[in-house]
A and B are shown apart, each in its own frame.
Chain A
Amino acid sequence: MEEKVFSRTRGLTGKPFHYCPGCTHGIIHRLIAETLSELDILDTAIGVSPVGCTYNNYEYFACDMIQAAHGRAPAVATGVKRVLPGSMVFTYQGDGDLAAIGTAEIVHAAARGEKICTFFVNNAVYGMTSGQMAPTTLLGQKTTTSPFGRSAAVQGYPINVSEMLATLQGAVFIERVAVNSVRNINRAKQAIRKAFKVQQAGLGFAMVEILSTCPTNWGKDPVSALKWVDEAMIRQYPLGVFRGQEIEVGD
């Protein structure tokens, strides 16, 4: 008798992802969807999709989903959570969405201690619009709008969002993870789980920053892209818990 050892989580609808080969959005989607299913919160969850590569992840997550204007997901999530305080509300945002156009919304949602989770996917580039410089683009990194490499003198410095938000009292749990190795994926899953548990306990704002790959716009093959996360990204964006280390959420 064959035993089924792996299958699609019921947190996903089954619609095939449209992401580029080697992109790690799919892994992150799966981790969030698995967590929704495992914590049995799929039917009280309401997600907010951003503008960017994941604009239509409302088609992938099996919970209720709202597509938001560019950068505004934390404000939309605030509206939802204030109406339905018993729901589990999360935003899924990229670095252009969250760290550029939506900076005000994320800072103030965190400062208000909105009881929502934000999954902030940092791949150091604008993906959807074809590889422009993001606020998180590394110094020296070439993009379509920094073709000679990002220069501190011309384009300024990358923004470390997790460290910045960790200074706010309303942000009770902030962790940065990556999904470029099995070990890191497992850690990422735990962080996502903790974020939802923090929301369940009504403690305040929780964000998991997830370092992700963009082989297409980085001009790398998928394996080199995973290596580049270790070699370059983590140097600028160290992994770890920036706030809420002491919070015990249990199983």
Chain B
Amino acid sequence: MSNRVLMKGNEAIAEAAIRAGCRHYFGYPITPQTEIMHYMALRMPEVDGVMVQAESEVAAINMVYGAAAAGARVMTTSSSPGISLKQEGFSYIAGAELPAVVVNIVRAGPGLGGILPAQGDYFQATKGGGHGDYRNVVLAPASVQELYELTVEAFNIADRYRVLTMILGDGTLGQMMEPVLFRDEEPVETCEKSWATTGTRGRREHNTIQSIYIEADALERLNNTLQAKYRLIAQREVRAETVNCEGAEIILTAFGTCSRICKNVIRQAAQIGIKVGLVRPITLWPFPDRAVAAAAAQPSVKALLDIELNAGQMVEDVRLAVNGIRPVHFYGRTGGNLPTQQEILDQIQVLARS
């Protein structure tokens, strides 16, 4: 394969997983991400890997649980309604401290909703979704190139901390084609998995993988361990891109597909004399609150404007980060619609005049 390839976002995710050393994929068909399964069905046999089409999303995530417990790099992918079904498994994976990669190519909801792109799963992805006190690392790519790079990184993060790492894309990213520049060698981190249930092989006492602790003190110890791990992740793994923020009058916040529209708006706004900056969270959890707060704290800033494909979800984290020092406004579209550049520019003009 030449290094530069024109690929669909979903295919780039699948190829990235294989390049990251994933040899086990468990999935269930759902639009708009099924190309990942198609790709895996063709590609896994070439690398002696396994693609299992499960009977449900519930089964798929539990196959992931088993494969991760057995020490494998493993992935499942789905879209919003399917991700809802996997939430039970996410909670167990968190409790059992298993590394796994999950991709959500978000479609419009609620319910069966529609198959067009949306970002309505931000709350579900970043605030839990399943039961209990746990966190998943959530990465938000904005291009096919980033889908590839962040998928590789998702496996490293998952193994590094024994956590579930989610790629939160949307139907636009999954379906669109862009050139991807593949690296000659992937930055694959390998780590010892002495905790895995691989069979004792006569070498050690038996290992157990579980999330149940009947005694309160034992369960609190697990929770304290998890929280310490999440604090470490929050210190080390925050990622964000800032564009044109220095001296900006209006700071936009947006992730994924929305951030691409915002980048075009920055140029349009400059033409009419308004300096607009953008903070694009790449990790949605841990949220880049320092980057947002730093951009907002500049004396030049009149207001922040958060743009999402939902009714206002990440805006709550933006407000927490800004902590009242500047007004934070929101503009979003739902149902599978995207905001136009002009719609966003109109909002900016109102804020810049006030």
A73 nearest CB neighbor, chain B only:
B62
Question: Per a CB cutoff under 8 Å, which of A69, A80, A82 touches B92?
Answer: A69
Q: List 15 A-B contacts (CB under 8 A).
A: A58-B208, A64-B207, A65-B207, A66-B210, A67-B211, A68-B66, A69-B89, A75-B63, A76-B62, A76-B63, A78-B52, A78-B59, A79-B26, A79-B64, A108-B55
- CB neighbours (8 Å) of B92 from chain A are 68-69
* A13 is an interface residue with CB less than 8 A from chain B: yes
Q: A43-B200, A46-B199, A83-B66 are known; give 7 further A-B pairs, CB within 8 A.
A: A42-B200, A46-B70, A63-B199, A69-B88, A72-B59, A104-B56, A105-B55
Question: Do A87 and B59 touch across chains, with their CB atoms under 8 A apart?
Answer: no
Interface residues of B (CB under 8 A from A): 24, 26, 50, 52, 54-56, 58-60, 62-72, 74, 88-89, 92, 96, 197-202, 206-212, 214
* A56 is an interface residue with CB less than 8 A from chain B: yes
Question: Per a CB cutoff under 8 Å, which of B50, B66, B89, B199 touches A48?
Answer: B66
Question: Do A75 and B62 touch across chains, with their CB atoms under 8 A apart?
Answer: yes
Mask for A151-174, Cβ within 8 A of B = 1, else 0? 000000000000000000000000
Give the number of residues in A that approach B within 8 Å (Cβ atoms): 39
Question: Per a CB cutoff under 8 Å, which of B55, B58, B68, B206 touches A79?
Answer: B68
- CB neighbours (8 Å) of A55 from chain B are 212
Question: Do A44 and B199 touch across chains, with their CB atoms under 8 A apart?
Answer: yes
Which of A45, A62, A72, A87 lies at the interface centre, i.e. has the most chain B CB atoms within 10 A of its CB? A72
Distance between Cα atoms of A69 and B64 in the complex (Å): 12
Q: From DSSP, what is the main secondary structure of chain A's interface residues?
A: mixed
Question: Do B206 and A64 touch across chains, with their CB atoms under 8 A apart?
Answer: yes
Q: Ordered nearest first, which 10 A-B pairs have the shortest CB separation?
A: A79-B66, A67-B210, A75-B62, A79-B67, A76-B66, A64-B197, A108-B55, A79-B63, A72-B62, A83-B70
A88 nearest CB neighbor, chain B only:
B199
Question: Do B69 and A62 touch across chains, with their CB atoms under 8 A apart?
Answer: no
* A230 is an interface residue with CB less than 8 A from chain B: no
Distance between Cα atoms of A77 and B59 in the complex (Å): 11
Distance between Cα atoms of A36 and B308 in the complex (Å): 56
Distance between Cα atoms of A75 and B65 in the complex (Å): 9
Distance between Cα atoms of A80 and B196 in the complex (Å): 11
Distance between Cα atoms of A79 and B26 in the complex (Å): 8
Distance between Cα atoms of A76 and B98 in the complex (Å): 13
* A84 is an interface residue with CB less than 8 A from chain B: yes
Q: A43-B201, A78-B66, A79-B63 are in contact. Are A104 and B210 (CB under 8 A)?
A: no
Distance between Cα atoms of A81 and B63 in the complex (Å): 10
Which of A67, A72, A79 lies at the interface centre, i.e. has the most chain B CB atoms within 10 A of its CB? A79
Interface residues of A (CB under 8 A from B): 13, 42-46, 48-49, 55-56, 58-59, 61-69, 72, 75-84, 87-88, 104-105, 107-108, 112
- CB neighbours (8 Å) of A59 from chain B are 208
- CB neighbours (8 Å) of B24 from chain A are 79, 82-83
Question: Do B202 and A108 touch across chains, with their CB atoms under 8 A apart?
Answer: no
Question: Do A62 and B206 touch across chains, with their CB atoms under 8 A apart?
Answer: yes
Question: Do B52 and A76 touch across chains, with their CB atoms under 8 A apart?
Answer: no
- CB neighbours (8 Å) of B207 from chain A are 64-65
Distance between Cα atoms of A75 and B76 in the complex (Å): 13
- CB neighbours (8 Å) of B212 from chain A are 55-56, 67
Distance between Cα atoms of A71 and B252 in the complex (Å): 46
- CB neighbours (8 Å) of B206 from chain A are 13, 61-65
Distance between Cα atoms of A22 and B72 in the complex (Å): 41
Question: Do A82 and B67 touch across chains, with their CB atoms under 8 A apart?
Answer: yes
- CB neighbours (8 Å) of A62 from chain B are 206
Q: A42-B200, A64-B208 are in contact. Are A72 and B58 (CB under 8 A)?
A: yes
Q: A76-B69, A80-B66 are in contact. Are A66 and B59 (CB under 8 A)?
A: no
Question: Do A80 and B69 touch across chains, with their CB atoms under 8 A apart?
Answer: yes
